[in-house]
Structure 1
Amino acid sequence: MARIAFIGTGLMGTGMAGRLIDAGHDVHVYNRTTSRAEPLIERGATLASSPAEAAIGADAIFVMVGDDVASRALWSGTSGILSADLKPGALAIECSTLSHDWVVELSEQAKEAGLDYLDCPVTGLPEAAASGLLTLFLGGAQSTINKAMPLLTPLSRDQIHFGPIGSGSAYKLIVNLMGSIQIAAAAEGLITAERAGLDLNLVAMALASGGCGSPQVARNAPLMVEGAHEKDVLFSTKWRLKDTDYGLKYAQKLGLNPEIGKATLNAFQAAMDDGYAASAETKVIEALRKRLPEAG
């Protein structure tokens, strides 16, 4: 049994931490909003008053939060993980989708603190997190992955090792930018089909199973047709814009100038500007509807 610190118990983190509890580990949790950790406490986790308290003596430290700002505060801020009395050689497993620059900086800070860092962003919805069916995108030394594997296995059905630290996040930023483009393209396609007088339910079904289909299109096109932008929000406009921004900035860092990516960023920024931050990412269709010219 390992002593594990799990920092960040949102929709994804709750499912992941729950899997580690069920696997028999001693899990210490911290979340900025304490009430969101209560379901894990009821399952046997120990509540910590700070990230540092959770991390004391831990064999592995998992973090699953929304962005660079939250990750930086939890690792490096007041009472952050790196201020704790850490176990030498403990695993530092960062699962959040973060900018590539911060992942590299954080890995260096973790190394200086004597931690064994693993770049480990994930893909999958909260249901997959709770069922141990995530796919993990790994960046780090093979020896680190081997050490972490007994803890990664309860969380995932697949682990893909892309190379050294930062490469897992590089892939995650690439695939999330592509996902953003697919969602925005599906929204424009549905608006066009609407103007053409087509049955949108039929169009959504055909898109999901046709040559333009993808998991993003298959999941989001029917929700756009239904207009189900506020019910059971699994991924909001705020986080889709963040992922698009991080992905675009990483491509630009590599000397690229992704015009499709920039147009997609503008689409989700428009949805944010319209006040849809907490709505599902599918709400982008409403922002695009407002901005497309009227039919002649």
Structure 2
Amino acid sequence: MARIAFLGTGLMGTGMAGRLIDAGHDVHVFNRTREKAMPLVERGATLAASPAQAAQDADAIFVMVGDDVASQAMWMGPDGVLSTDLRPGTLAIECSTLSHDWVEDLSSAAKNKGLDYLDCPVTGLPDAAANGQLTLFLGGEPSTIEKARPYLESISSNQLHFGAIGSGTAYKLIVNLMGSIQIAAAAEGLITAERAGLDLNLVAKALGMGGCGSPQVARNAPLMVKGNHEKDVLFSTKWRLKDTDYGLKYAHKLGLSPQIAAATLDAFQAAMDDGYAASAETKVIDALRKRLPASKG
């Protein structure tokens, strides 16, 4: 049994930490909103007062939070992980979707503290996290991955090693940016089908199973048709905009200026501007409805 720190117990983190508890590990959890960690405490986890306290004597430290700011607080805040003395070789496993620049800075800081850093963003919905069916996008040394493998196999069904630290995040940003584009494109397609007088339920079904279908389109097109963007929100407009922004900034870092991605960022920014931050990412269809110009034909 290993001692594991798990920092960030939102929808995804709760499922992932639960898998580690079920595997028999001694899991110490921290979350900024204490109440969100209590279901894990009821399952046997120990609640820590700070990230540093959770990380004390840990064999592995997992972080699963929303953005760079939250990750920075967990690792480098006044009571963050790196503020305390840790055993050399402790695994530092960052699972959040973060900007590439911050991952580079964080990995350097962790290595300077003697930690074995693993770039480990994930893909999958909360039910996949709870069932250990996530896919992990890994960047790091093969030896670090091998040391972390028992923990990684508890939370995932597939681990893809893309190369050095930062490469897992690079792929995650690429695929999430493509997902954003697909969601926005599906919204525009449905608006066009609506204008054409087509049966939108049938259109959503056909989109999901047709040549332009994808898991994103298949999942989100029917939700857009139903129009219930406030119930059981799995991924909000706020986080979709963040992922799109990080992905576009990474493309700029590589010297690219993706026009489709830029238009997609504008679409989700419009949804944010309309007050839909906490609504599901599918709410982008309403923001686009307001802004798509009528034809002059």
TM-score, structure 2 normalization: 0.99
Partner residue, 2:111 = 111
Distance 1:268 1:292 in 2: 14
Q: 2:229 — aligned with what?
A: 229
Distance 1:103 1:36 in 2: 26
> Which of structure 1's runs of 4+ aligned residues deviate more than 6 A?
none
Alignment of 1:75-94 (within 5 A): 75-94=75-94
1:57–1:85 Cα contact (<8 Å) kept: no
**Cα deviation 1:234-278 (Å, max 9, x = unaligned):** 000000000000000000100001000000000000000000000
Distance 1:114 1:76 in 2: 15
Match of 2:61 in 1: 61
- Is residue 22 of structure 1 aligned with residue 22 of structure 2? yes
Q: Percent identity?
A: 81
- Structure 1 position 293, deviation (Å): 2.1
Instruction: Give the Å deviation of 1:200.
Output: 0.1
1:109 counterpart letter in structure 2: A
For residues 199-278 of structure 1, what are the structure 2 equivalents within 5 Å? Answer: 199-278=199-278
> How many matched pairs?
296
**2:160 aligned residue:** 160
The answer to whether 1:131 aligns with 2:126 is: no
Q: For 1:61, what is the secondary structure of its paired residue?
A: strand
Matched position secondary structure for 2:159: strand
Partner of 1:281 in structure 2? 281
The letter of the residue matching 1:29 is V
Kindly provide the amino acid, as one letter, of the partner of residue 177 in structure 1. Answer: L
Report the residue type matching 1:72 in the other structure. Q
Amino acid at match of 2:10: G
Distance in 1 (CA, whole Å) between partners of 2:176 and 2:40 is 29
For 1:159 and 1:192, the matched residues in 2 are separated by 39
Aligned partners of 1:231 and 1:31: how far apart in 2?
24
Q: Verify the 8 A CA contact 1:177 1:243 in the aligned structure 2.
A: yes
* Counterpart check, 1:292 vs 2:292: yes
Structure 2 CA distance, aligned partners of 1:80 and 1:278?
27
| 3-state SS in 2 of match to 1:24 | coil
Corresponding residue for residue 71 of structure 1: 71
* Equivalent position amino acid for 1:14 in 2: T
**What is the TM-score with the length of structure 1 in the denominator?**
0.99
Structure 1: how far apart are the matches of 2:43 and 2:283? 35
Is residue 198 of structure 2 the alignment partner of residue 178 of structure 1? no
Tell me the equivalent position of 2:102.
102
Unaligned runs of 5+ in 2: none
Q: Judge conservation of contact 1:276–1:283 (CA < 8 Å) in 2.
A: yes
CA distance in 1, matches of 2:124, 2:163: 21
The secondary structure found in structure 1 opposite 2:255 is: coil
* Equivalent residues of 1:17, 1:40 under 8 A apart: yes
Q: How does 1:24-63 map to 2 (within 5 A)?
A: 24-63=24-63
| Displacement of 1:76 | 0.4
Q: Secondary structure at the match of 1:32?
A: coil
Q: Provide the alpha-carbon RMSD of the alignment.
A: 0.6
Q: Which amino acid aligns with 2:118?
A: L
